[in-house]
Amino acid sequence: MSPDPDAGTGKADQVPESGSGPAATGPKATVGLDPAQLGLGDMDAAAFRRHGYAVIDWIADYLDGVGELPVLAKVAPGQIRDSLPVAPPVAPEPFETALADLDRVLMPGVTHWNHPAFHAYFAITGSGPGILGEALAAALNVNGMLWRTSPSATELEQLVLDWLRQLLGLPEGPRGIICDTASIATTLALAAAREQADVDVRQRGLTGRSDIPLLCVYTSEQAHSSVEKAAIALGLGRDGVRLIGTDPEFRMDTAALAEAIRADVRRGHRPIAIVPTVGTTSTTSVDPVAATADVRDEVAEELGHPVWLHVDGAYGGMLAVCEEHRWVLDGVDRADSFVTNPHKWLFTPIDCSALFVRDADALPRAFALVAEYLTTDDEDVTDYMDWGIQLGRRFRALKLWLVMRYFGAEGLVARIRHHVDQARRVAAWVDEHPDLEVAAPVPMSTVCFRARPRWLAGADEAALGDLNRRLLAGINATGAAYLSHTVLGDRYVLRLAVGNLRTTDERLDATCALIDRELSALRSR
């Protein structure tokens, strides 16, 4: 990954002051070019093989050495763009030149999610088999909109989703679709809930109508923002989302949920969906899905119409691959839909989000719209274009299939168990530390904690919040680790997420030592 200092493509190299662009003819323009670049076809096989080997070597070196790089990009806003030409090249350029600029220009602006000390948000891994699967999918370049446009893309997607269902210990029955992210999956699920409400939004829309009451969605105040974003996109609005309070462990309060629903019914509003979370974003708390399903059943019977139950297990749902942790999905078998992300905790490169639905016709009822040029005479097939907004669909199932085959169920389970054990080790270290405290339960592999040092005994929350902000900034500024934060009640707390295959116990110990050093430095200052 060492850049070539003579291979730069800065503005002065590529864009003359005249603005006419570099000459496309003459001996200089052809130096280092592949023969195919001077004709009309694609990169030829020999050049592809040569450059491909170089790219694979680059990736292998990167993954092997990513732990030595600063985790967080240290560039100023606009720095990357200003380092590149303002106009595209007129003449072909050697591939090596562009690859050199990857090192010289782009790498300083990359935050390394594959870094073993990336502990912000949710730690993820783009694993080797998944990366190779992504490359193969790009090479095939199929569009899986219809079964006919690539039967393997459709049928492999059906297969790997059923494999995933089995890994999670879910019963037979649910069918699935691979989306890009859980945000889109939740939007599709709530669109199906809106369609189930039987107010003919599909044909008549929501605007200009006085016959539709306020349609309401209920979720925890700890839920991901994607629920409210879905409501915005679907025309329900944030006014249609009810954020339900939580218990001391940050789990949705089902008694408060039932009361909120009944209060809305008294106001003439129409409840259409409830969204509990398995692994909330801030604390990885697990809402009581079975008790939520009980509330759903009770109010649906009182209302005389169904209420959709969508479970957001984007992060935490994957924990159920470990049999001893399958309690996290208790009650999910009663849900209408469920989403979990292999790109979060199943080592599959982003993006790959699995949405399961109990009724396979629910999404087509909301979205199916077949133009004449898309009609086929195929029978007993799934055309995934009918299951959502997208027509064009990437072959995402291929990388998930390779990840499952390479690691096997035993390997996946062992790695996730190790991450849970690592998080518990961190929590135990925090518990024993005289100047730190755990701020939330640790059911998965994310630890919420904060500094509450003896030398600030009696400090109010404002002072503690300021201290912890400075502690987080100091840790991240070192480049040796990257943590994130959240706010729980009035407490500003730090989050340390474990979930990367490259995070060894020794590296995690080094991160804990870094936290300790930065806290000591704050005291000395």
CB atoms within 10 A of CB 406: 16
Look at residue 271 and give its three-state secondary structure.
Answer: strand
Mean pLDDT of the chain: 93
Amino acid identity of 323? E
**Whole-number pLDDT of residue 183:** 96
Strand order in the sheet with 241-244: 175-179, 353-357, 337-340, 308-312, 270-275, 215-220, 241-244
Give pLDDT tens digits for 287-312: 999 999 999 999 999 999 999 999 99
**Whole-number pLDDT of residue 524:** 85
Burial class (CB in 10 A: 0-12, 13-18, 19+), 385: buried
CATH top-level class for 11-112? mainly alpha
Longest dimension (CA), the chain: 81
**Whole-number pLDDT of residue 19:** 35
Tell me if 460 sits within 8 A of 508, measured CB to CB: no
Whether residue 343 is predicted with pLDDT greater than 80 in this model: the reply is yes
Across 153-170, average pLDDT: 98
Whether residue 15 is predicted with pLDDT greater than 60 in this model: the reply is no
30-44, 74-88, 148-162, 468-482: the lowest-pLDDT one: 30-44
Tokens 């097939």 found at? 381
Whether residue 430 is predicted with pLDDT greater than 60 in this model: the reply is yes
Instruction: Look up residue 91 and give its two tokens.
Output: 């003449």
Look at residue 500 and give its three-state secondary structure.
Answer: coil
The DSSP string of 97-157 is: HHHHHIIIIIGGG---TTSTTB-SSS-----HHHHHHHHHHHHH---TTSTTT-HHHHHHH
**Whole-number pLDDT of residue 29:** 59
- CB environment 5-36: b (16+ within 10 A), e (fewer): eebbbeeeebbeeeeeeeeeeeeebbeebbeb
Across 416-432, average pLDDT: 97
Whether residue 17 is predicted with pLDDT greater than 70 in this model: the reply is no
CB atoms within 10 A of CB 105: 20
12-16, 54-58, 80-84, 447-451: the lowest-pLDDT one: 12-16
Same topology for domains 11-112 and 173-366, yes or no?
no
CATH number of 173-366: 3.40.640.10
**Does an H or E element contain 353, and which?**
strand 353-357
Whether residue 177 is predicted with pLDDT greater than 60 in this model: the reply is yes
Position 525 confidence tier, pLDDT thresholds 50, 70, 90: confident
Tell me if 291 sits within 8 A of 233, measured CB to CB: no
Residues 6+ apart with CB under 8 A from 76: none
Distance CA 332, CA 398 (A): 26
CA distances from 411 to 227, 406, 418, 457 (A): 33, 9, 11, 46
Whether residue 16 is predicted with pLDDT greater than 70 in this model: the reply is no
Whether residue 22 is predicted with pLDDT greater than 70 in this model: the reply is no
Whether residue 2 is predicted with pLDDT greater than 70 in this model: the reply is no
Position 14 confidence tier, pLDDT thresholds 50, 70, 90: very low
Distance CA 440, CA 282 (A): 9
Whether residue 483 is predicted with pLDDT greater than 70 in this model: the reply is yes
Distance CA 176, CA 196 (A): 18
**Whole-number pLDDT of residue 31:** 80
Residues 6+ apart with CB under 8 A from 54: 96, 99
Across 410-429, average pLDDT: 98
**Whole-number pLDDT of residue 458:** 87
Please give the model's pTM, rounded to 2 decimal places: 0.92
- CB environment 312-340: b (16+ within 10 A), e (fewer): bbbbbbbbbbbeebeebbbbbbbbbbbbb
Instruction: Look up residue 358 and give its two tokens.
Output: 């109990």
Burial class (CB in 10 A: 0-12, 13-18, 19+), 408: exposed
CATH number of 404-524: 3.90.1150.170
| Percent of the residues in the chain that have a pLDDT greater than 70, as a whole number | 94
Across 32-38, average pLDDT: 91
Give pLDDT tens digits for 197-256: 989 999 999 999 999 999 999 999 999 999 999 999 999 999 999 999 999 999 999 999
- In the chain, where are the structural domains located? 11-112, 173-366, 404-524
Strand order in the sheet with 491-497: 436-438, 446-451, 491-497, 484-488
Whether residue 425 is predicted with pLDDT greater than 80 in this model: the reply is yes
Nearest by Cα to 120 from 418, 447, 458: 447
